Amino acid sequence: MANQTVSAWVGDPHGEVDHPVADCPVEVTLHALRGRWTTLVVRELFDGERSFGDLAMALPALSDKVLADRLAQLVAAGVVTRVREPGWPSRVRYSLTPRGQGLRGVLEAMWAWGQDTVRSGTTR
Amino acid sequence: MANQTVSAWVGDPHGEVDHPVADCPVEVTLHALRGRWTTLVVRELFDGERSFGDLAMALPALSDKVLADRLAQLVAAGVVTRVREPGWPSRVRYSLTPRGQGLRGVLEAMWAWGQDTVRSGTTR
DNA sequence: CAGTATCCGGAGAGATACTG
DNA sequence: CAGTATCTCTCCGGATACTG
């Protein structure tokens, strides 16, 4: 997760790390993607704007509460934009921010590594 | 986390996803890195082989139990090799497997995204 | 040295029911 | 439609104490 407060990534020397601190970039990313279902919600949004109902339909096993939690988390992380349409019935449009689009690279890296791992049969 | 069982990454169409399944490559990667301290342990090992005591010393706030948990998890994920030295006092050498080395790209992608996010001040 | 055995407290995931 | 309010339950993370 986190590293020490100051030094860079593999740019050692990284001194003692007493605690996984929140301002480590890796920690920040992990935090944004934290929790079950999160990456799936993001993936849905890679395809474009979605409403709450759209997402609920695409992820049927995901409860309203958890979906709302995830969306709030993603909004707080600056990954997703939430736009409430005025009127009735109420409708909310969720879409990725530019930063959210930037997650593509991260998820692709994860996909590639996981793919290799599965192929090699080193599943845990 | 996971996606459906068959289709590819952003290569839609991705059908309905009823459940975050374990065989999604992204899920596999997330699973390998799951838990507090995990990435920090991996980072220590990027610098080369380490003993249990080395790791405990580099991560002073990490308890024996959690360190042992993390190492076992990483071994199970095929990321780390565990070699027990015979004799007394007992000594165990931990190092990254080739697959573990492959995590560099993943963590770098995470680092880059987190870095941008912190710069832009969109911390949550 | 390198762990394992227990126990505890808190966070997160899900189910159900209700509201602006 | 798009959530919130509760409540439950399980899964860690951490502390402490002990062992091969």
Which residue in chain B is spatially nearest to A119 when comparing CA positions? B25
Indicate the residue type of B69.
Answer: D
Which chain A residue is nearest to residue B98, measuring alpha carbons?
A117
Dist. CA A30–CA A91, nearest whole Å: 30
Asked if B28 and A67 touch (Cβ cutoff 8 Å), the reply is: no
Cα gap A40→B5, rounded to integer Å: 13
A58 to chain B, any CB pair closer than 8 A? The answer is yes
Higher pLDDT, A32 or B22: A32
Confidence of residue A1 (pLDDT cuts 50, 70, 90): very low
Residue B92 is inside which H or E element, if any? strand B91-96
What is the set of domains in chain A, with CATH numbers?
A: 22-120 (1.10.10.10)
Query: Taking residues B52-81, what's their average pLDDT?
Result: 96
| pLDDT value of residue B22 | 63
* pLDDT tens column, A17-57: 777 766 789 999 999 999 999 999 999 999 999 999 999 99
Positions on chain C within 7 A of a protein C-beta? 1-6, 12-17, 20
Q: In terms of DSSP H, where are the helices of A4-124?
A: 25-32, 38-46, 52-58, 64-76, 98-101, 103-119
Spell out which residues of chain A touch residue B123, defining contact as CB-CB under 8 Å: 23, 28
Inform me whether the pLDDT recorded for B5 exceeds 90: no
Q: How far is A93 from chain B (nearest CA, A)?
A: 20
Pairing of the two strands B50-51 and B91-96:
antiparallel
**Does the distance separating the beta carbons of B77 and A124 come in below 8 Å?**
yes
Whether the predicted pLDDT of B122 surpasses 70: no
- Cβ-defined contact of B25 to A118 (cutoff 8 Å): yes
pLDDT digits (tens, 9 = 90+) for A65-119: 999 999 999 999 999 999 999 988 999 999 999 999 999 999 999 999 999 988 8
Please state, as a whole number, how many other Cβ atoms lie within 10 Å of the Cβ of residue B109.
Answer: 23
Look-up: residue for tokens 């007493």?
A18
Give Dmax over CA atoms of chain A in angstroms.
58
Phi, psi of A23 (to 5 degrees): -95, 10
Which one, of B121, B107, B109, B93, lies nearest residue A14 by Cα?
B107
Is A1's CB within 8 Å of B40's CB?
Answer: yes
Cβ-based contacts of B73 with chain A (< 8 Å)? 124
Res. B4 pLDDT band, cuts 50 70 90: very low
Tell me the shortest Cα–Cα distance from B113 to chain A, in angstroms. Answer: 7
